[in-house]
Chain A
Protein backbone atom coordinates (compact mmCIF):
# COMPACT_ATOMS: atom_id res chain seq x y z
CA UNK A 1 0.00 0.00 0.00
CA UNK A 2 2.75 2.43 1.04
CA UNK A 3 6.24 2.07 -0.34
CA UNK A 4 8.93 4.47 0.86
CA UNK A 5 12.34 4.12 -0.80
CA UNK A 6 15.54 5.87 0.21
CA UNK A 7 13.64 8.98 1.29
CA UNK A 8 15.75 12.08 1.91
CA UNK A 9 14.08 15.26 3.17
CA UNK A 10 15.22 18.54 4.64
CA UNK A 11 13.81 21.60 6.38
CA UNK A 12 15.44 24.95 5.68
CA UNK A 13 18.38 23.16 4.06
CA UNK A 14 18.93 20.94 7.10
CA UNK A 15 18.76 17.21 6.22
CA UNK A 16 16.37 15.32 8.53
CA UNK A 17 15.48 12.12 6.70
CA UNK A 18 18.56 10.42 5.30
CA UNK A 19 17.58 7.40 3.26
CA UNK A 20 14.47 6.05 4.94
CA UNK A 21 12.97 2.89 3.49
CA UNK A 22 9.70 1.37 4.65
CA UNK A 23 7.12 -0.90 3.13
CA UNK A 24 3.58 -1.09 4.49
CA UNK A 25 1.04 -3.58 3.16
CA UNK A 26 -2.73 -3.66 3.61
CA UNK A 27 -3.81 -5.16 6.91
CA UNK A 28 -0.64 -4.11 8.73
CA UNK A 29 0.08 -1.82 11.64
CA UNK A 30 3.60 -0.43 11.77
CA UNK A 31 5.01 1.42 14.74
CA UNK A 32 7.81 3.90 14.26
CA UNK A 33 9.73 4.65 17.43
CA UNK A 34 12.79 6.70 18.01
CA UNK A 35 14.44 9.36 20.12
CA UNK A 36 13.68 13.08 19.85
CA UNK A 37 14.98 14.59 16.64
CA UNK A 38 15.17 11.27 14.80
CA UNK A 39 12.81 12.55 12.10
CA UNK A 40 9.58 10.83 13.14
CA UNK A 41 7.34 13.87 12.83
CA UNK A 42 9.15 14.96 9.68
CA UNK A 43 8.23 11.62 8.14
CA UNK A 44 4.56 12.29 8.93
CA UNK A 45 4.65 15.79 7.50
CA UNK A 46 6.52 14.73 4.35
CA UNK A 47 3.90 12.02 3.74
CA UNK A 48 1.15 14.58 4.35
CA UNK A 49 2.77 17.13 2.05
CA UNK A 50 3.32 20.00 4.46
CA UNK A 51 4.94 23.04 2.79
CA UNK A 52 8.52 23.68 3.87
CA UNK A 53 9.49 20.02 3.95
CA UNK A 54 11.61 19.43 0.90
CA UNK A 55 12.19 15.97 -0.50
CA UNK A 56 15.68 15.84 -2.00
CA UNK A 57 15.86 12.18 -2.97
CA UNK A 58 13.94 8.93 -2.94
CA UNK A 59 10.35 8.06 -3.70
CA UNK A 60 7.03 7.33 -2.03
CA UNK A 61 4.20 5.49 -3.70
CA UNK A 62 0.72 5.02 -2.27
CA UNK A 63 -1.36 2.32 -3.95
CA UNK A 64 1.08 2.55 -6.84
CA UNK A 65 0.64 6.33 -7.27
CA UNK A 66 3.44 8.83 -6.78
CA UNK A 67 2.44 10.32 -3.42
CA UNK A 68 5.01 13.12 -3.50
CA UNK A 69 3.55 14.49 -6.74
CA UNK A 70 0.14 15.01 -5.16
CA UNK A 71 -1.23 18.08 -3.36
CA UNK A 72 -2.04 17.55 0.34
CA UNK A 73 -5.80 17.49 -0.30
CA UNK A 74 -5.32 14.98 -3.13
CA UNK A 75 -3.41 12.71 -0.77
CA UNK A 76 -6.35 12.91 1.64
CA UNK A 77 -8.80 12.12 -1.13
CA UNK A 78 -6.66 9.14 -2.13
CA UNK A 79 -7.18 7.75 1.37
CA UNK A 80 -4.29 9.09 3.45
CA UNK A 81 -5.03 10.47 6.91
CA UNK A 82 -2.46 12.37 8.93
CA UNK A 83 -3.14 12.49 12.67
CA UNK A 84 -1.43 15.56 14.09
CA UNK A 85 0.82 15.60 17.11
CA UNK A 86 -0.41 19.13 17.76
CA UNK A 87 -3.89 19.50 16.26
CA UNK A 88 -4.38 23.08 15.08
CA UNK A 89 -6.92 25.47 16.60
CA UNK A 90 -9.16 27.21 14.08
CA UNK A 91 -11.19 30.01 15.68
CA UNK A 92 -14.47 30.81 13.94
CA UNK A 93 -14.81 27.46 12.17
CA UNK A 94 -16.93 24.88 13.96
CA UNK A 95 -15.91 21.24 14.18
CA UNK A 96 -19.07 20.31 12.33
CA UNK A 97 -18.36 22.69 9.47
CA UNK A 98 -14.70 21.64 9.31
CA UNK A 99 -15.53 17.94 9.21
CA UNK A 100 -18.33 18.33 6.72
CA UNK A 101 -16.13 20.41 4.41
CA UNK A 102 -13.40 17.78 4.71
CA UNK A 103 -15.61 14.81 4.08
CA UNK A 104 -17.53 16.39 1.23
CA UNK A 105 -14.36 17.69 -0.44
CA UNK A 106 -13.01 14.14 -0.39
CA UNK A 107 -16.30 12.72 -1.65
CA UNK A 108 -16.40 15.28 -4.45
CA UNK A 109 -12.92 14.32 -5.62
CA UNK A 110 -14.11 10.70 -5.77
CA UNK A 111 -17.24 11.73 -7.69
CA UNK A 112 -19.48 10.82 -4.77
CA UNK A 113 -22.50 12.86 -3.73
CA UNK A 114 -22.00 15.23 -0.79
CA UNK A 115 -23.68 14.30 2.48
CA UNK A 116 -26.57 16.53 3.50
CA UNK A 117 -26.43 18.43 6.79
CA UNK A 118 -28.70 15.91 8.48
CA UNK A 119 -26.87 12.83 7.19
CA UNK A 120 -23.58 14.32 8.21
CA UNK A 121 -24.71 15.26 11.72
CA UNK A 122 -25.94 11.74 12.33
CA UNK A 123 -22.58 10.30 11.30
CA UNK A 124 -20.61 12.87 13.29
CA UNK A 125 -22.65 12.32 16.46
CA UNK A 126 -22.21 8.56 16.22
CA UNK A 127 -18.44 8.81 15.75
CA UNK A 128 -18.07 11.38 18.52
CA UNK A 129 -20.04 9.25 20.97
CA UNK A 130 -17.66 6.33 20.38
CA UNK A 131 -14.82 8.52 21.59
CA UNK A 132 -16.63 10.01 24.55
CA UNK A 133 -16.97 13.38 22.87
CA UNK A 134 -20.36 15.03 23.34
CA UNK A 135 -22.32 16.63 20.54
CA UNK A 136 -21.81 20.05 22.13
CA UNK A 137 -18.09 19.84 21.40
CA UNK A 138 -18.83 19.30 17.73
CA UNK A 139 -20.42 22.74 17.58
CA UNK A 140 -17.42 24.45 19.12
CA UNK A 141 -14.64 25.94 16.99
CA UNK A 142 -12.06 23.38 15.87
CA UNK A 143 -9.83 22.50 18.83
CA UNK A 144 -10.26 25.94 20.41
CA UNK A 145 -10.20 25.60 24.18
CA UNK A 146 -9.86 21.80 23.95
CA UNK A 147 -7.52 20.07 26.38
CA UNK A 148 -4.59 18.11 24.96
CA UNK A 149 -6.52 14.87 25.38
CA UNK A 150 -9.68 16.29 23.79
CA UNK A 151 -7.68 17.43 20.77
CA UNK A 152 -6.28 13.93 20.27
CA UNK A 153 -9.69 12.34 20.66
CA UNK A 154 -11.01 14.86 18.18
CA UNK A 155 -8.38 13.63 15.71
CA UNK A 156 -9.79 10.14 16.14
CA UNK A 157 -13.35 11.41 15.57
CA UNK A 158 -12.13 12.92 12.32
CA UNK A 159 -10.46 9.67 11.35
CA UNK A 160 -13.66 7.77 12.11
CA UNK A 161 -15.74 10.07 9.94
CA UNK A 162 -13.27 10.26 7.07
CA UNK A 163 -12.63 6.51 7.19
CA UNK A 164 -9.21 6.54 5.47
CA UNK A 165 -7.28 3.70 3.91
CA UNK A 166 -3.96 4.60 5.49
CA UNK A 167 -3.51 6.50 8.73
CA UNK A 168 -0.21 8.11 9.71
CA UNK A 169 -0.65 8.92 13.38
CA UNK A 170 1.96 11.25 14.80
CA UNK A 171 2.26 10.82 18.56
CA UNK A 172 -1.47 10.43 18.94
CA UNK A 173 -0.73 9.01 22.41
CA UNK A 174 1.17 11.98 23.82
CA UNK A 175 -0.76 14.03 26.34
CA UNK A 176 -3.31 11.28 27.01
CA UNK A 177 -4.18 9.90 30.42
CA UNK A 178 -4.65 6.13 30.90
CA UNK A 179 -8.37 6.14 30.11
CA UNK A 180 -8.02 8.37 27.06
CA UNK A 181 -5.16 6.18 25.84
CA UNK A 182 -7.40 3.14 25.97
CA UNK A 183 -10.25 4.97 24.19
CA UNK A 184 -7.92 6.20 21.45
CA UNK A 185 -6.32 2.77 21.12
CA UNK A 186 -9.72 1.15 20.72
CA UNK A 187 -10.65 3.86 18.21
CA UNK A 188 -7.65 3.05 16.07
CA UNK A 189 -8.46 -0.68 16.19
CA UNK A 190 -12.12 -0.13 15.40
CA UNK A 191 -11.59 2.18 12.44
CA UNK A 192 -8.33 0.91 11.01
CA UNK A 193 -7.83 -2.77 11.93
CA UNK A 194 -9.16 -4.09 8.63
CA UNK A 195 -7.62 -6.27 5.95
CA UNK A 196 -7.82 -3.41 3.43
CA UNK A 197 -6.34 -0.72 5.67
CA UNK A 198 -3.01 0.11 7.25
CA UNK A 199 -1.60 2.26 10.03
CA UNK A 200 1.76 3.89 10.64
CA UNK A 201 1.93 4.73 14.31
CA UNK A 202 4.60 7.24 15.26
CA UNK A 203 5.26 7.14 18.98
CA UNK A 204 7.82 7.67 21.70
CA UNK A 205 6.42 5.14 24.09
CA UNK A 206 5.42 1.54 24.14
CA UNK A 207 2.18 2.19 26.10
CA UNK A 208 -0.16 2.71 23.13
CA UNK A 209 1.28 -0.38 21.45
CA UNK A 210 -0.20 -2.51 24.23
CA UNK A 211 -3.64 -1.45 22.94
CA UNK A 212 -2.86 -1.35 19.23
CA UNK A 213 -0.70 -4.39 18.76
CA UNK A 214 1.66 -3.54 15.88
CA UNK A 215 2.71 -6.15 13.36
CA UNK A 216 6.05 -4.41 12.93
CA UNK A 217 8.14 -2.07 15.06
CA UNK A 218 10.85 0.09 13.50
CA UNK A 219 13.44 2.19 15.24
CA UNK A 220 14.19 5.47 13.54
CA UNK A 221 17.50 7.13 14.41
CA UNK A 222 19.03 10.08 12.59
CA UNK A 223 16.65 9.88 9.64
CA UNK A 224 16.99 6.16 8.96
CA UNK A 225 15.38 2.92 10.09
CA UNK A 226 18.14 1.24 12.08
CA UNK A 227 16.24 -1.78 13.38
CA UNK A 228 12.99 -3.54 12.69
CA UNK A 229 11.21 -6.21 14.67
CA UNK A 230 7.93 -6.98 16.40
CA UNK A 231 6.31 -5.83 19.66
CA UNK A 232 9.24 -7.38 21.55
CA UNK A 233 11.51 -4.70 20.10
CA UNK A 234 9.23 -2.01 21.56
CA UNK A 235 9.37 -3.65 24.98
CA UNK A 236 13.13 -3.90 24.73
CA UNK A 237 13.28 -0.17 23.93
CA UNK A 238 11.07 0.60 26.90
CA UNK A 239 13.40 -1.40 29.19
CA UNK A 240 16.78 -0.41 27.85
CA UNK A 241 16.34 2.89 26.03
CA UNK A 242 17.16 3.95 22.48
CA UNK A 243 20.89 4.22 23.15
CA UNK A 244 21.31 0.54 23.89
CA UNK A 245 18.98 -0.73 21.17
CA UNK A 246 20.22 1.37 18.28
CA UNK A 247 23.92 1.14 19.12
Chain B
Protein backbone atom coordinates (compact mmCIF):
# COMPACT_ATOMS: atom_id res chain seq x y z
CA UNK B 1 0.00 0.00 0.00
CA UNK B 2 1.32 3.45 -0.83
CA UNK B 3 0.40 6.90 0.39
CA UNK B 4 -0.53 7.99 -3.11
CA UNK B 5 -3.72 5.98 -3.06
CA UNK B 6 -5.05 7.62 0.11
CA UNK B 7 -7.13 10.80 0.09
CA UNK B 8 -5.23 14.04 0.48
CA UNK B 9 -5.80 16.58 3.25
CA UNK B 10 -5.96 19.15 0.46
CA UNK B 11 -9.43 17.78 -0.27
CA UNK B 12 -11.89 19.68 1.92
CA UNK B 13 -13.68 16.50 3.02
CA UNK B 14 -10.40 15.10 4.36
CA UNK B 15 -8.76 18.26 5.69
CA UNK B 16 -8.52 16.90 9.26
CA UNK B 17 -7.92 13.27 8.35
CA UNK B 18 -4.79 11.77 9.81
CA UNK B 19 -3.55 10.37 6.50
CA UNK B 20 -0.07 9.79 7.88
CA UNK B 21 -1.69 7.97 10.78
CA UNK B 22 -3.49 5.63 8.37
CA UNK B 23 -0.24 4.82 6.59
CA UNK B 24 1.56 4.26 9.88
CA UNK B 25 -1.28 2.04 11.13
CA UNK B 26 -1.15 -0.09 8.00
CA UNK B 27 2.54 -0.71 8.51
CA UNK B 28 2.22 -1.83 12.13
CA UNK B 29 3.69 -5.33 12.35
CA UNK B 30 1.29 -8.12 13.25
CA UNK B 31 1.15 -9.14 16.90
CA UNK B 32 -1.23 -11.14 19.04
CA UNK B 33 -4.25 -8.95 19.75
CA UNK B 34 -5.46 -11.12 22.61
CA UNK B 35 -8.89 -12.73 22.94
CA UNK B 36 -12.10 -11.03 21.86
CA UNK B 37 -14.15 -12.39 24.79
CA UNK B 38 -14.15 -9.15 26.74
CA UNK B 39 -15.85 -7.30 23.91
CA UNK B 40 -19.07 -9.32 23.83
CA UNK B 41 -21.97 -7.74 25.64
CA UNK B 42 -24.44 -9.86 27.54
CA UNK B 43 -27.04 -9.90 24.77
CA UNK B 44 -28.78 -12.68 22.86
CA UNK B 45 -28.33 -12.96 19.11
CA UNK B 46 -25.57 -13.30 16.54
CA UNK B 47 -21.91 -12.81 17.36
CA UNK B 48 -19.61 -12.15 14.45
CA UNK B 49 -15.89 -12.04 15.11
CA UNK B 50 -13.71 -10.80 12.29
CA UNK B 51 -9.99 -11.17 12.86
CA UNK B 52 -8.16 -9.00 10.35
CA UNK B 53 -11.33 -8.95 8.27
CA UNK B 54 -11.74 -12.76 8.19
CA UNK B 55 -14.71 -14.40 9.87
CA UNK B 56 -13.45 -16.38 12.86
CA UNK B 57 -14.68 -19.92 13.48
CA UNK B 58 -15.99 -19.00 16.93
CA UNK B 59 -18.63 -16.74 15.37
CA UNK B 60 -22.31 -17.45 15.96
CA UNK B 61 -24.33 -16.76 12.83
CA UNK B 62 -28.10 -16.84 12.80
CA UNK B 63 -29.57 -13.98 10.83
CA UNK B 64 -26.27 -12.68 9.52
CA UNK B 65 -24.42 -14.28 6.61
CA UNK B 66 -21.36 -13.69 4.42
CA UNK B 67 -22.12 -11.94 1.15
CA UNK B 68 -20.92 -9.69 -1.64
CA UNK B 69 -21.70 -6.00 -1.08
CA UNK B 70 -22.14 -3.54 -3.95
CA UNK B 71 -19.20 -1.20 -4.31
CA UNK B 72 -18.96 2.35 -3.00
CA UNK B 73 -17.10 5.08 -4.86
CA UNK B 74 -15.93 6.68 -1.63
CA UNK B 75 -12.13 7.05 -1.48
CA UNK B 76 -11.84 4.88 1.66
CA UNK B 77 -15.12 2.96 1.41
CA UNK B 78 -14.28 1.68 -2.08
CA UNK B 79 -11.30 -0.22 -0.65
CA UNK B 80 -13.67 -2.17 1.58
CA UNK B 81 -16.37 -2.84 -1.03
CA UNK B 82 -17.10 -6.39 -2.12
CA UNK B 83 -16.67 -9.29 0.23
CA UNK B 84 -18.37 -8.88 3.62
CA UNK B 85 -21.32 -9.69 5.85
CA UNK B 86 -24.99 -9.07 5.40
CA UNK B 87 -27.91 -8.77 7.78
CA UNK B 88 -31.32 -8.86 6.14
CA UNK B 89 -34.34 -8.61 8.42
CA UNK B 90 -38.00 -8.78 7.63
CA UNK B 91 -40.83 -7.41 9.74
CA UNK B 92 -41.62 -10.79 11.32
CA UNK B 93 -38.05 -11.47 12.42
CA UNK B 94 -37.30 -11.59 16.13
CA UNK B 95 -35.04 -8.61 16.47
CA UNK B 96 -32.23 -10.00 18.60
CA UNK B 97 -29.21 -7.69 18.50
CA UNK B 98 -26.30 -8.58 16.24
CA UNK B 99 -22.84 -8.04 17.67
CA UNK B 100 -19.78 -7.65 15.51
CA UNK B 101 -16.23 -7.48 16.84
CA UNK B 102 -13.52 -6.28 14.46
CA UNK B 103 -10.23 -7.47 15.90
CA UNK B 104 -7.07 -6.42 14.09
CA UNK B 105 -3.58 -7.73 14.74
CA UNK B 106 -1.59 -5.31 12.52
CA UNK B 107 -1.26 -4.30 8.89
CA UNK B 108 -4.43 -3.28 7.09
CA UNK B 109 -7.73 -5.08 6.64
CA UNK B 110 -10.87 -4.11 4.76
CA UNK B 111 -14.40 -5.41 5.04
CA UNK B 112 -17.84 -4.47 3.75
CA UNK B 113 -21.27 -4.92 5.30
CA UNK B 114 -24.84 -4.57 4.22
CA UNK B 115 -27.79 -4.13 6.54
CA UNK B 116 -31.17 -4.47 4.83
CA UNK B 117 -34.31 -3.86 6.81
CA UNK B 118 -37.57 -4.64 5.04
CA UNK B 119 -40.66 -2.51 5.67
CA UNK B 120 -41.48 -2.39 9.40
CA UNK B 121 -38.43 -4.49 10.33
CA UNK B 122 -36.53 -3.67 13.51
CA UNK B 123 -32.83 -4.29 14.07
CA UNK B 124 -30.07 -3.61 16.58
CA UNK B 125 -26.39 -3.85 15.69
CA UNK B 126 -23.46 -3.30 18.04
CA UNK B 127 -19.93 -3.13 16.64
CA UNK B 128 -16.62 -2.99 18.46
CA UNK B 129 -13.18 -2.27 17.01
CA UNK B 130 -10.19 -3.60 18.94
CA UNK B 131 -6.54 -4.49 18.48
CA UNK B 132 -4.02 -2.71 16.26
CA UNK B 133 -3.40 -1.84 12.63
CA UNK B 134 -5.72 -0.20 10.10
CA UNK B 135 -9.28 -1.50 10.09
CA UNK B 136 -11.23 -0.04 7.17
CA UNK B 137 -14.95 -0.69 6.85
CA UNK B 138 -17.77 0.14 4.48
CA UNK B 139 -21.44 -0.42 5.29
CA UNK B 140 -24.51 0.05 3.16
CA UNK B 141 -27.69 0.50 5.20
CA UNK B 142 -31.07 0.29 3.51
CA UNK B 143 -34.17 0.81 5.62
CA UNK B 144 -37.61 0.12 4.20
CA UNK B 145 -40.81 1.92 5.08
CA UNK B 146 -41.12 2.44 8.85
CA UNK B 147 -38.11 0.18 9.50
CA UNK B 148 -36.05 0.96 12.58
CA UNK B 149 -32.34 0.37 13.02
CA UNK B 150 -30.32 1.10 16.13
CA UNK B 151 -26.60 0.84 15.62
CA UNK B 152 -23.91 1.51 18.15
CA UNK B 153 -20.22 1.55 17.24
CA UNK B 154 -17.32 1.76 19.65
CA UNK B 155 -13.74 2.28 18.64
CA UNK B 156 -11.50 0.74 21.26
CA UNK B 157 -8.40 -0.09 19.21
CA UNK B 158 -5.22 0.31 21.24
CA UNK B 159 -3.22 1.66 18.32
CA UNK B 160 -3.48 2.15 14.61
CA UNK B 161 -6.50 3.51 12.82
CA UNK B 162 -10.15 2.68 12.31
CA UNK B 163 -12.05 4.16 9.39
CA UNK B 164 -15.71 3.57 8.71
CA UNK B 165 -17.80 4.75 5.80
CA UNK B 166 -21.55 4.28 6.02
CA UNK B 167 -24.03 4.97 3.24
CA UNK B 168 -27.58 4.85 4.47
CA UNK B 169 -30.91 5.23 2.75
CA UNK B 170 -34.00 5.62 4.90
CA UNK B 171 -37.43 4.88 3.46
CA UNK B 172 -40.64 6.67 4.35
CA UNK B 173 -41.04 6.95 8.10
CA UNK B 174 -37.91 4.87 8.74
CA UNK B 175 -35.68 5.54 11.74
CA UNK B 176 -31.93 5.20 12.07
CA UNK B 177 -30.24 5.89 15.37
CA UNK B 178 -26.49 5.44 15.16
CA UNK B 179 -24.23 6.43 18.04
CA UNK B 180 -20.45 6.12 17.99
CA UNK B 181 -17.90 6.21 20.78
CA UNK B 182 -14.20 6.71 20.12
CA UNK B 183 -12.49 5.75 23.37
CA UNK B 184 -9.41 3.80 22.35
CA UNK B 185 -5.86 4.81 21.59
CA UNK B 186 -6.10 4.67 17.80
CA UNK B 187 -6.85 7.34 15.23
CA UNK B 188 -10.20 7.26 13.52
CA UNK B 189 -12.47 8.63 10.87
CA UNK B 190 -16.22 8.07 11.07
CA UNK B 191 -17.59 8.97 7.67
CA UNK B 192 -21.23 8.74 6.71
CA UNK B 193 -23.81 9.86 4.21
CA UNK B 194 -27.44 9.41 5.25
CA UNK B 195 -30.31 10.08 2.87
CA UNK B 196 -33.63 10.44 4.68
CA UNK B 197 -36.93 9.78 2.93
CA UNK B 198 -40.32 11.29 3.70
CA UNK B 199 -40.97 11.56 7.44
CA UNK B 200 -37.81 9.62 8.21
CA UNK B 201 -35.81 10.11 11.39
CA UNK B 202 -32.03 10.09 11.27
CA UNK B 203 -29.95 10.41 14.38
CA UNK B 204 -26.21 10.19 13.88
CA UNK B 205 -23.92 11.24 16.68
CA UNK B 206 -21.56 10.19 19.40
CA UNK B 207 -18.50 11.09 21.42
CA UNK B 208 -14.86 11.16 20.40
CA UNK B 209 -12.34 11.07 23.24
CA UNK B 210 -8.76 11.73 22.27
CA UNK B 211 -5.49 11.71 24.19
CA UNK B 212 -1.75 11.60 23.58
CA UNK B 213 -1.18 12.60 19.96
CA UNK B 214 -4.26 10.79 18.75
CA UNK B 215 -6.50 12.24 16.01
CA UNK B 216 -10.12 11.27 15.64
CA UNK B 217 -12.78 12.77 13.45
CA UNK B 218 -16.29 12.40 12.20
CA UNK B 219 -17.52 13.59 8.84
CA UNK B 220 -21.21 12.97 8.64
CA UNK B 221 -23.79 14.32 6.23
CA UNK B 222 -27.53 13.86 6.54
CA UNK B 223 -29.54 14.69 3.45
CA UNK B 224 -33.27 15.30 3.70
CA UNK B 225 -34.45 14.37 0.24
CA UNK B 226 -38.18 14.38 1.07
CA UNK B 227 -40.52 16.45 3.29
CA UNK B 228 -41.29 16.01 7.01
CA UNK B 229 -37.99 14.39 7.94
CA UNK B 230 -36.20 14.83 11.24
CA UNK B 231 -32.51 14.58 12.00
CA UNK B 232 -30.38 14.86 15.11
CA UNK B 233 -26.63 15.17 15.13
CA UNK B 234 -25.28 15.40 18.67
CA UNK B 235 -21.52 15.10 18.76
CA UNK B 236 -19.26 15.59 21.75
CA UNK B 237 -15.46 15.77 21.66
CA UNK B 238 -13.08 15.62 24.60
CA UNK B 239 -9.44 16.27 23.78
CA UNK B 240 -6.56 15.78 26.20
CA UNK B 241 -2.78 16.22 25.87
CA UNK B 242 -1.72 17.12 22.30
CA UNK B 243 -4.57 15.25 20.65
CA UNK B 244 -7.08 16.53 18.11
CA UNK B 245 -10.76 15.73 17.72
CA UNK B 246 -12.61 17.05 14.69
CA UNK B 247 -16.35 17.11 14.18
CA UNK B 248 -17.74 17.88 10.75
CA UNK B 249 -21.47 17.51 10.47
CA UNK B 250 -23.67 18.58 7.63
CA UNK B 251 -27.41 18.85 7.07
CA UNK B 252 -28.72 19.14 3.54
CA UNK B 253 -32.34 19.94 2.84
CA UNK B 254 -33.56 19.44 -0.73
CA UNK B 255 -35.78 22.07 -2.35
CA UNK B 256 -39.05 20.24 -1.80
CA UNK B 257 -38.15 18.72 1.60
CA UNK B 258 -40.48 21.11 3.45
CA UNK B 259 -41.18 20.79 7.19
CA UNK B 260 -37.77 19.27 7.78
CA UNK B 261 -36.79 19.46 11.44
CA UNK B 262 -33.05 19.29 11.91
CA UNK B 263 -30.99 19.72 15.04
CA UNK B 264 -27.25 19.80 15.16
CA UNK B 265 -25.11 20.23 18.23
CA UNK B 266 -21.32 20.02 18.07
CA UNK B 267 -19.50 20.61 21.31
CA UNK B 268 -15.91 20.16 22.35
CA UNK B 269 -14.02 20.29 25.61
CA UNK B 270 -10.29 20.84 25.85
CA UNK B 271 -8.80 19.15 28.87
CA UNK B 272 -5.46 20.80 28.08
CA UNK B 273 -4.70 23.94 26.15
CA UNK B 274 -2.29 21.97 23.96
CA UNK B 275 -5.20 19.90 22.62
CA UNK B 276 -7.30 20.76 19.59
CA UNK B 277 -10.98 20.49 18.79
CA UNK B 278 -12.09 21.39 15.27
CA UNK B 279 -15.76 21.91 14.55
CA UNK B 280 -17.38 22.31 11.17
CA UNK B 281 -21.15 22.62 11.34
CA UNK B 282 -22.71 22.91 7.90
CA UNK B 283 -26.25 23.58 6.80
CA UNK B 284 -27.32 23.61 3.19
CA UNK B 285 -31.01 24.39 2.96
CA UNK B 286 -32.96 24.83 -0.25
CA UNK B 287 -36.49 24.46 1.16
CA UNK B 288 -38.10 27.52 2.76
CA UNK B 289 -40.29 25.98 5.47
CA UNK B 290 -37.80 24.12 7.66
CA UNK B 291 -36.47 24.22 11.18
CA UNK B 292 -32.76 23.60 11.58
CA UNK B 293 -31.31 24.40 14.99
CA UNK B 294 -27.57 24.27 15.28
CA UNK B 295 -24.91 25.03 17.83
CA UNK B 296 -21.16 24.66 17.96
CA UNK B 297 -18.97 25.42 20.96
CA UNK B 298 -15.48 24.60 22.17
CA UNK B 299 -14.20 25.41 25.60
CA UNK B 300 -12.72 24.21 28.82
CA UNK B 301 -14.64 22.73 31.73
CA UNK B 302 -16.74 25.34 33.49
CA UNK B 303 -14.50 26.79 36.23
CA UNK B 304 -17.51 27.95 38.22
CA UNK B 305 -18.95 24.46 38.27
CA UNK B 306 -15.57 23.00 39.24
CA UNK B 307 -15.24 25.40 42.17
CA UNK B 308 -18.85 24.80 43.20
CA UNK B 309 -18.16 21.07 43.46
CA UNK B 310 -14.84 21.61 45.21
CA UNK B 311 -16.51 23.87 47.74
CA UNK B 312 -18.79 20.94 48.57
CA UNK B 313 -15.82 18.69 49.27
CA UNK B 314 -15.19 17.04 45.90
CA UNK B 315 -11.48 17.05 44.96
CA UNK B 316 -10.73 18.92 41.74
CA UNK B 317 -9.69 15.86 39.71
CA UNK B 318 -12.89 14.07 40.67
CA UNK B 319 -14.95 17.16 39.85
CA UNK B 320 -13.31 17.28 36.43
CA UNK B 321 -14.14 13.63 35.87
CA UNK B 322 -17.78 14.11 36.89
CA UNK B 323 -18.24 17.11 34.59
CA UNK B 324 -16.50 15.45 31.65
CA UNK B 325 -18.53 12.30 32.14
CA UNK B 326 -21.78 14.27 32.11
CA UNK B 327 -20.66 15.93 28.90
CA UNK B 328 -19.95 12.59 27.22
CA UNK B 329 -23.08 10.94 28.62
CA UNK B 330 -25.14 13.55 26.86
CA UNK B 331 -24.27 11.80 23.57
CA UNK B 332 -23.96 8.18 24.74
CA UNK B 333 -27.23 8.05 26.66
CA UNK B 334 -29.04 8.39 23.36
CA UNK B 335 -28.34 4.70 22.79
CA UNK B 336 -31.71 3.05 23.36
CA UNK B 337 -30.51 -0.35 24.58
CA UNK B 338 -29.55 -0.08 28.24
CA UNK B 339 -26.98 -2.89 28.20
CA UNK B 340 -25.22 -1.26 25.27
CA UNK B 341 -25.42 2.26 26.72
CA UNK B 342 -24.01 1.05 30.06
CA UNK B 343 -21.13 -0.78 28.33
CA UNK B 344 -20.28 2.30 26.28
CA UNK B 345 -20.35 4.53 29.36
CA UNK B 346 -18.05 2.07 31.12
CA UNK B 347 -15.62 2.39 28.21
CA UNK B 348 -15.85 6.17 28.45
CA UNK B 349 -15.24 5.95 32.21
CA UNK B 350 -12.14 3.82 31.66
CA UNK B 351 -10.89 6.40 29.19
CA UNK B 352 -11.55 9.26 31.63
CA UNK B 353 -9.78 7.43 34.42
CA UNK B 354 -6.73 7.20 32.22
CA UNK B 355 -6.79 10.69 30.73
CA UNK B 356 -7.58 12.76 33.83
Question: A90-B326, A92-B326 in contact; A101/B314 too (CB < 8 A)?
Answer: yes
Question: A102-B314, A103-B313, A105-B315 in contact; A88/B327 too (CB < 8 A)?
Answer: no
B322 adjacent to chain A (CB < 8 Å): yes
CB–CB A109/B313 < 8 A: yes
Closest to B312 in A: A102
Partner of A101, one of B304, B316, B318, B329: B318
A99 to B322, CA, bound (A): 12
B282 adjacent to chain A (CB < 8 Å): no
Question: A87-B308, A93-B322, A93-B326 in contact; A76/B316 too (CB < 8 A)?
Answer: no
Q: Which residues of A contact B309 (CB under 8 A)?
A: 90, 98, 101-102
Q: Which residues of A contact B316 (CB under 8 A)?
A: 71-73
Chain B contact residues: helix, strand, loop or mixed? helix
Q: Which residues of B contact A158 (CB under 8 A)?
A: 312
B58 adjacent to chain A (CB < 8 Å): no
Closest to A92 in B: B326
A162 adjacent to chain B (CB < 8 Å): yes
Interface size class of A (residues with CB under 8 A): 20 to 34
CB–CB B308/A105 < 8 A: no
CB–CB B315/A73 < 8 A: yes
Of A76, A81, A109, most B-chain CB atoms within 10 Å: A76
CB–CB B313/A105 < 8 A: yes
Question: A93-B322, A93-B323 in contact; A88/B305 too (CB < 8 A)?
Answer: yes
Chain A contact residues: helix, strand, loop or mixed? helix
Q: Mark B316-347, 1 if CB is under 8 A from A, else 0.
A: 10100011011101100000000000000000
CB–CB A92/B313 < 8 A: no
A145 adjacent to chain B (CB < 8 Å): no
A91 to B324, CA, bound (A): 11
A76 to B307, CA, bound (A): 11
CB–CB B322/A101 < 8 A: yes
A91 to B329, CA, bound (A): 11
A193 to B325, CA, bound (A): 38
Partner of B311, one of A76, A93, A109: A76
A109 to B313, CA, bound (A): 9
CB–CB B311/A82 < 8 A: yes
In chain A, residues 69-83, which have Cβ atoms closer than 8 Å to a Cβ of chain B? 71-73, 75-77, 81-82
Closest to A107 in B: B313
A109 to B311, CA, bound (A): 14
B303 adjacent to chain A (CB < 8 Å): yes
A106 adjacent to chain B (CB < 8 Å): yes
Q: Which residues of A contact B330 (CB under 8 A)?
A: 91-92
CB–CB A102/B313 < 8 A: yes
- Across the A-B interface, give the 6 residue pairs with the lowest CB-CB distance, nearest first: A92-B326, A102-B312, A76-B313, A106-B313, A72-B310, A88-B308
25 example contacts (A-B, Cβ-Cβ < 8 A) are as follows A48-B311, A71-B310, A72-B307, A72-B316, A73-B310, A73-B311, A73-B312, A73-B313, A73-B315, A73-B316, A76-B311, A76-B312, A76-B313, A87-B308, A90-B308, A90-B326, A91-B330, A93-B326, A98-B309, A101-B309, A101-B322, A102-B309, A102-B314, A105-B312, A105-B313
